[in-house]
Amino acid sequence: MPQETEVIKMLPPVVQPIPVRTMDEKLLAISPIDGRYADRSEKLRPYLSEWGLMRARIFVEGELFRIYAEEGLIDPLTQEETAYLDTALDKFDLASGAITKDFEKRSDHDVVAIVKFMQEDIKKHSLPRLLDYLHFGPTSEDIDNIAWRLMIDLARREYIIPTMTELNNKLISIADEAKDCLMIGRTHGQPAGVTTFGRELLVFASRLQDEIDKTANHQFTGKFNGIIGTYSGQRTAFPEKDVEWWLGFSQKFARRFGLDPELITTQGNPNDDLAEFLQIQVRTNNIIHGLAGDTWEYIKDKLLHQKITGSGSSTGAAKVNPWRVEHVQAMLEIANGMAYELIRNIQEYKLQRDLSDKTLMRFLPEITALQLNAIEYMTKQLELVTPNKDGMAATIDQDWSFLSEALQLTLRKGGIEKGYEVVRKKLQGRELPPPQWAIAIEELITELDLRNPEHQELARKIRSISPAPFITDAIELTKLFILQLKKRQQYAIDIKSP
């Protein structure tokens, strides 16, 4: 059985320059991702494009040569063969991709086209043995399932996690600045307690950090077991190796790329790992969707000031519309709709294999592009707002009815058995600014006969109920949560460092 290896072969970043889309291409694009929002998806193109998939397939085919030699299935690679494999990926440019597409027109098969491109290129370098053992044994899905995961992982490392982290850094930074920006917290839209604007942002930052960590640590899987999962091609190519040996080889080949081996499959990888990855992204999108919605509400209530960046309305000349958060929500809704469709269907094959998942997978890059576009717009929106500190603080004194929780608890602790019912009957539905609150308290003291000496201490306690202690707690909690989140972020960095 092949020996285990610690070496992980990651798909390297693209080194050759990728041309930006021309204005004509943007104007004629059917998808807004490649048209109106093309500038924001440029970074993803080398990773998750058709060309990016071709490049990943070439990488996997090259690694298959190497492991065949390492495991003694073929003689050790010569210097010339090694040099070719070392440079093949960097030499695969857009012109090479166009040639490959031309081969695909003739073969009507995308992986066969890659094999044909490599065959023609190997011939130019006079490396007959590489030609003999190119795509020797695997089915196309043995190459494709690994290529897709390497491509997604590269995008994850280079763009997805950095973009998500940039938004979370912005949230934590604003929360730190707004740790003492006091405001009323609302449940069901009604006053419910004292909070800080910073603490409310940290609720989103903490949840988002959870999903960043899960995105970073999510483990993809890989399979290499032939046309229906029984190693028939591999056993035919190298009959001297038995099935148990090929089980070991399959594990080693998957782990070579940092993937968990999928050993019991049909022709296709079950894609449970991709469905789970998409579920993480759906949760991420839901969190940011909620952040965008709350930001819109704060702007509507004039608790956030907006910076002027251009025309707000084609007719309302004075308006500053929060269109970016509306855009964020729309993009995330489309992304999640597409993601749900993939989650429902990429885990399912007819019998041992059909290609429906392959077509669906081609839309995964668009989901990622929609998500990252939304995250970038959300980050930009946060840069364009500032807390209205005075306006936020004023919300606390607009209505002290939220103190009814403290009032009923104090009464019950002081021996008033039906304290909750008494307070509900007296205060429910009333708006109580501080003066009216004080009047209501005095009325309650009279009604409950708390003016006699026996109940003076309880009367004193309910008269003293105010937002003050809750203000202190809200600020203290915000400071503690900021420190906690910064430690979590640093820990995440430390465990990823070599």
pLDDT for 494 equals 59
Q: Computed over its alpha carbons, how large is the radius of gyration of the chain?
A: 31
CA distance 304 to 383: 12
CA distance 432 to 410: 19
pLDDT for 310 equals 72
Assess contact for 456 and 463: CB atoms under 8 A.
no
From residue 268, alpha-carbon distances to 139, 231, 235, 345, 352 in Å are: 10, 13, 18, 13, 8
SS3 31: coil
CA distance 132 to 136: 8
pLDDT for 496 equals 57
pLDDT for 347 equals 87
CA nearest neighbour of 231 among 138, 133, 140, 349 = 138
pLDDT for 6 equals 61
Domain boundaries in the chain?
Answer: 49-136, 154-181+196-217+265-395, 399-466
For residue 57, the surrounding DSSP H or E stretch is helix 50-70
pLDDT for 493 equals 64
User: Which letter, b or e, does each residue of 21-48 get, where b requires 16 or more Cβ atoms within 10 Å of its Cβ?
Assistant: beeeebeeeeebbbeebbebbebbbbbb
Q: Can you read off the two tokens belonging to residue 185?
A: 């917290």
Domain with residues 49-136, CATH architecture? Orthogonal Bundle (1.10)
pLDDT for 1 equals 45
From residue 447, alpha-carbon distances to 420, 422, 440 in Å are: 15, 10, 10
Place of tokens 């430390």: 494
pTM of this prediction exceeds 0.85? yes
Assess contact for 163 and 170: CB atoms under 8 A.
no
Amino acid at 133: Y
Assess contact for 46 and 158: CB atoms under 8 A.
no
Mind spelling out the 3-state secondary structure of 358-400?
A: HHHHCCHHHHHHHHHHHHHHHHHHHHCEEECHHHHHHHHHHCH
CA dihedral over 84, 85, 90, 91, signed as positive or negative: positive
Q: Can you read off the two tokens belonging to residue 430?
A: 């009333």
Place of tokens 């930006």: 20
CA distance 477 to 473: 6
Assess contact for 22 and 39: CB atoms under 8 A.
no
Q: Can you read off the two tokens belonging to residue 451?
A: 């003016």
- How does pLDDT run along the chain (498 residues), one tens digit per residue? 444 546 789 999 988 888 888 898 889 989 999 989 999 889 899 999 999 999 999 999 999 999 999 999 999 999 999 999 999 999 999 999 999 999 999 999 999 999 999 999 999 999 999 999 999 989 999 999 999 999 999 999 999 999 999 999 999 999 999 999 999 999 999 999 999 999 999 999 999 999 999 999 999 999 999 889 898 988 898 899 999 999 999 999 999 999 999 999 888 898 999 999 999 999 999 999 999 999 999 999 999 999 887 766 667 677 778 889 999 999 999 999 999 999 999 888 888 878 788 889 899 999 999 999 999 999 999 999 999 999 999 999 999 999 999 999 999 999 998 999 999 999 999 999 999 999 999 999 999 988 888 889 999 999 999 999 999 999 999 999 999 999 888 876 655 544
Pick the CATH number of 399-466 from 1.10.40, 3.30.160, 1.10.10, 1.10.3470: 1.10.40
CA distance 268 to 257: 18
pLDDT for 388 equals 96
The CATH number given to 154-181+196-217+265-395 is 1.20.200.10
Place of tokens 């995964």: 364
